[in-house]
Amino acid sequence: MTVQFLLDKMAELKDQEAVAVGSNVITYGQLLTKYHDWLEWIKTEKIQQGEVVSIKSDYSADSISLFLALTHNRNIIVPLSNDSKAHFDTFCDIAQNQYDIILGDGPVSLIRTNNQPDHELYKVLHERNQPGLVLFSSGSTGKSKAIFHDLSQLLNKFTVPRKMMRTLAFLQFDHIGGVNTLLYTLANGGTAVVPAKRTPESVCEAIDTHQVEVLPTSPTFINLLLLSGAADDADLSSLKLITYGTETMPDSTLAAITARFPETKLLQTYGLSEVGILRSKSRDSKSLWVKVGGAEFETKIIEGRLWIKSESAMLGYLNAPSPFDEEGFLDTGDQVEQDGEWIKILGRQSEIINVGGEKVYPAEVESVVLEMSGVEDAAVYSLPHAITGMIVAIEIKLDTDETLAEFKVRLRQHCTGRLQAYKIPRKITLIDNYTHNARFKRMRKRS
């Protein structure tokens, strides 16, 4: 039984806090009760093993226990959090869900659809008699891909006991990072703390109230956290570890966060929806050099690009060809620098800007620009140009009253000496809003 080890843990720690949403705290015992209620409900509603079920909900004790019950029932689960509300219809259409479960403040809503899923990969999973999970990529590099996992394989790696932690549930369960946080927490008897909102203020309040030890987040959110000053109004002394991933960390943001939280360890994580989250180790808190791997992972670097093979890799995409090579490795698309067993992630191959034959990584330029006073956010992109092929363009959110001309002069003066001339942004646009998406990943414009 795939979730049995989680159930055993929950029964053993029944008085321990499992999930905290706002001021509402649920123990493992209560979560277990809810789990059994859902099993009964699934039986009553006659949801059969292997059927495709979407859950529209954010993290709550109900959605987490329902997720576990559907896993036990060997369903193919399509979690859909409000982060991707705009795409619900498209995602359901791709996944061919047979049931749509909507959880909110009121009673549960169950809708039976007329879909009759017959995807080849679904058949593979049915033959294995295992539960499945469909996640969608953010679509930052084109259309969203539907990533289909054998959920039992994702669960397997959590059977090895690790440290019990109180962790902020930053990403929802429709993101590989969110699934990872949830399963890690449940498998080790930790507490998942769900902030009321994903703002710096709300996250800091949740850390303070529930004595959170681990904050898994993104460089963009860390930047906002520092800018907002929210950390000054809350007691964050419980925080032992901040992990960051999903995008390249600018040097300037890492330097600022380690200076602000000298007692807190910083760890870079690395993972992809396709292969899961690798175990990682940063050389030290101030370093962008990282060692990635873990028992079930193999890595190789070809022409500076990182490839990964994983036992818990997805079965494939529902709406795209298989990306694996003959040996089962996946091209991550990430360019890396290598120093023995350490790697430094430079950025995505697809985002490299070629200026007159010279390569520019957006993250390096953003890092230098983010050092400037008054710059709240910066996102680099490329523009075609007749003279140099491509040029570096940048969108900037300022908290000053400078005109574009005034800011241009200041930016050029700041960048000269810090960046080679071809890396200095030539086209500058001032914008009013932050550039990140709902999951706090910087969204760079595409030309």
Q: Can you tell me the distance from the alpha carbon of 309 to that of 298, in angstroms, rounded to the nearest whole number?
A: 5
Interaxial angle between packed helices 404-415 and 362-370, expressed in degrees from 0 to 180 and rounded to the nearest 10: 110
386 lies in the binding site for another protein (CB under 8 A): yes
The interface mask with another protein, positions 311-350, x = CB under 8 A, is ----------------------------------------
Provide, rounded to whole angstroms, the least separation between the CB of residue 409 and another protein: 4
> Side-chain half-sphere of 57: how many Cα atoms within 13 Å?
25
Is there a contact between 119 and 146 (Cβ–Cβ < 8 Å)?
A: no
CA–CA dist 180, 245 (Å, integer)? 13
The token duo for 194 is 């769900």
Q: Tell me: does residue 445 bind another protein (CB under 8 A).
A: no
Amino acid at site 194? V
Out of 106, 159, 295, 405, the only residue in the binding site for another protein (CB under 8 A) is: 405
Q: Which stretch binds another protein (CB under 8 A): 185-193, 300-308, 360-368, 416-424?
A: 416-424
Site string for another protein, 421-440 (x = CB under 8 A): xx-x-xx-------------
Q: Which is nearer to another protein, 296 or 402 (CB)?
A: 402
Residues near 432 by beta carbon (within 8 Å), at least 6 away in sequence? 397
| 281 scored as a contact of another protein (CB under 8 A) | no
Report which residue type is found at 342: W
- H/E stretch holding 78 reads strand 76-80
Q: Which pair of structure tokens corresponds to residue 306?
A: 């990182």
391 counts as binding another protein under rule CB under 8 A: yes
Among 388, 402, 418, 431, binds another protein (CB under 8 A): 388
Angle at 102 between CA 67 and CA 76, to 5 degrees: 40
Q: Would you count residue 244 as binding another protein (CB under 8 A)?
A: no
387 belongs to the binding site for another protein (CB under 8 A)? yes
Q: Which of 255, 259, 302, 404 binds another protein (CB under 8 A)?
A: 404
The residue (of 29 and 389) whose beta carbon lies closer to another protein is 389
Q: Does 291 bind another protein (CB under 8 A)?
A: no
> Is 286 in contact with 255 (CB distance < 8 Å)?
yes
Binding segment toward another protein, per CB under 8 A, in 28-36, 103-111, 143-151, 382-390: 382-390
Among candidate residues 202, 186, 89, the one with its CA nearest the CA of residue 136: 89
Structure letter (DSSP) for residue 324: B
One symbol per residue from 8 to 47: x for binding another protein (CB under 8 A), - otherwise; what is it?
A: ----------------------------------------
Q: Which stretch binds another protein (CB under 8 A): 140-148, 284-292, 310-318, 413-421?
A: 413-421
Q: How far apart are CA 365 and CA 358, in angstroms?
A: 14
Q: Within positions 346 to 375, which residues make up the interface with another protein, using CB under 8 A?
A: 356
Q: Which residue from 40, 374, 409, 447 is in contact with another protein, where contact means CB under 8 A?
A: 409
CB of 395 to another protein, least distance (A): 14
The CB-side HSE value for 384 (13 A sphere, CA atoms) comes to 2
Q: Are 110 and 101 in contact (CB under 8 A)?
A: yes
Q: What's the sign of the alpha-carbon dihedral 362, 367, 368, 373?
A: positive
Q: How many residues bind another protein (CB under 8 A)?
A: 18
- Among the residue ranges 39-47, 119-127, 218-226, 419-427, the one whose residues contact another protein (CB under 8 A): 419-427
Taking the C-alpha atoms of residue 154 and residue 183, their distance in angstroms, rounded to an integer, is 9
Q: Does 416 bind another protein (CB under 8 A)?
A: yes
Which amino acid belongs to residue 36?
A: H
How many CA atoms lie less than 13 Å away from 341 in the CB half-sphere? 9
- Shortest distance in whole angstroms from residue 431 CB to another protein: 15
CB of 404 to another protein, least distance (A): 7
Please, which residue, 49 or 416, has the CB nearer to another protein?
416
DSSP 8-class letter at 39:
H
Residue 89: partners with Cβ closer than 8 Å, 6 or more residues away: none
385 interacts with another protein by CB under 8 A: yes
Out of 87, 397, 408, 418, name the contact with another protein by CB under 8 A. Answer: 408
Residues that bind another protein (CB under 8 A): 356, 385-388, 391, 404-405, 408-409, 412-413, 416, 421-422, 424, 426-427
